């Protein structure tokens, strides 16, 4: 009678979008997987590293069934017990608003061994790929990374704290609340602070809108910016042209001219 494989879970960060930004360890672990459960923010090209694995999409995409977190947790355990090594492939870094440790704790409570492979977070890389650092000498000595809303859907209190501070603020999953967030920053005297939205950062179809807290929501709506996108507020946004392509630079300069 064949020996059943040891049930285990490895949570792997897929990086910010560009498939070449997956870590070497992430690629190796994918190659060893028996099952891969992957999210919408994980680039589909990464599945090529796991050609023999059972591949199950558990994210949210239009026209496809979305799994609840409870269903994903149960699926991890069931697939590990049946097949062995489950790799949970998550966009960015699983420990930055990715529920990575939450899934590991559930798996551990059900007898699975677990491991974590970090990924490059979009909180830094998405804007960085277009020349916007989160810190820069003379402009920003620190940064905050926030989720826009709480688990109940309310605007996070951390956004209010960020609006009162001068550090660079990076907000994930906040595009649908962009106008409300910018109004909050403006209320605390930051209306003219540089601000940007980055869509699909690190990918060839990346889009960047640059303006101020007072203008960004209107600009992003006019440009048709959609998810996935991050919001950046702070003086570092003025460096946006440093690594942008000529086409992106022209867009940035045009938008600055409008709000000057």
- Confidence at residue 253, expressed as pLDDT on a 0 to 100 scale: 42
Assess whether 173 carries a catalytic annotation. yes
pLDDT > 70 fraction of the chain, expressed in percent and rounded: 90
Assess whether 25 carries a catalytic annotation. no
Give per-residue pLDDT as tens, 117-157: 999 999 999 999 999 999 999 999 999 999 988 888 888 88
Task: Look at the domain 8-117 and name its fold.
Answer: Cobalt-precorrin-4 Transmethylase; domain 1 (3.40.1010)
User: Using CA atoms, how far apart are residues 253 and 232, in angstroms rounded to an integer?
Assistant: 17
Domain boundaries, the chain: 8-117, 122-259
Pick the CATH number of 122-259 from 3.40.50.300, 3.30.950.10, 3.40.50.720, 3.40.50.2000: 3.30.950.10
Whether the predicted pLDDT of 250 surpasses 50: no
Q: What is the CA radius of gyration of the chain?
A: 20
Q: How confident is the model at residue 246 (pLDDT cuts 50, 70, 90)?
A: very low
Catalytic residue among 39, 90, 93, 104: 39
Same fold, 8-117 and 122-259: no
Q: Please, what is the end-to-end C-alpha distance for the chain in angstroms? A: 74
pTM of the entire structure?
A: 0.88
Give per-residue pLDDT as tens, 2-15: 677 899 999 999 99
CA distances from 6 to 3, 72, 74, 85 (A): 9, 20, 17, 7
* DSSP code for 167: S
User: Using CA atoms, how far apart are residues 35 and 52, in angstroms rounded to an integer?
Assistant: 9
User: Using CA atoms, how far apart are residues 180 and 5, in angstroms rounded to an integer?
Assistant: 50
Assess whether 64 carries a catalytic annotation. no
Give the H or E element holding residue 161: helix 157-164
Backbone angles phi, psi at 17, to 5 degrees: 145, -55
């Amino acid at each position: 009678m064949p020996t059943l494989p040891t049930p285990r879970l490895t949570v792997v960060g897929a990086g910010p979008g560009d498939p070449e930004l997956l870590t070497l360890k992430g690629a190796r672990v994918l190659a060893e997987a028996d099952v891969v459960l992957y999210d919408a923010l994980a680039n589909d090209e990464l599945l090529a590293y796991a050609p023999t694995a059972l591949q199950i999409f558990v994210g949210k995409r239009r026209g496809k069934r979305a799994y609840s977190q409870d269903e994903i947790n149960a699926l991890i355990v069931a697939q590990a017990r049946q097949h062995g090594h489950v790799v949970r492939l998550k966009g960015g870094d699983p420990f930055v608003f990715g529920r990575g440790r939450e899934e590991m704790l559930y798996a551990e409570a059900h007898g699975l061994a677990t491991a974590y492979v970090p990924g490059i977070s979009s909180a830094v890389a998405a804007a960085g790929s277009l020349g916007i650092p989160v810190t820069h000498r003379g402009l920003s000595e620190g940064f905050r990374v926030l989720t826009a809303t709480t688990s109940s859907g309310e605007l996070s209190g951390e956004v209010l704290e960020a609006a009162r501070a001068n550090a660079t603020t990076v907000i994930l999953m906040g595009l649908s609340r962009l106008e409300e967030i910018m109004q909050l920053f403006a209320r605390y005297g930051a209306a003219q602070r540089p601000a940007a939205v980055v869509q699909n950062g690190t990918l060839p179809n990346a889009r960047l809108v640059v303006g101020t807290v007072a203008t960004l929501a209107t600009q992003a709506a006019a440009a048709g910016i959609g998810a996935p996108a991050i919001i950046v507020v702070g003086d570092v946004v003025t460096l946006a042209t440093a690594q942008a392509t000529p086409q992106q630079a022209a867009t940035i300069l045009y938008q600055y001219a409008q709000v000057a």
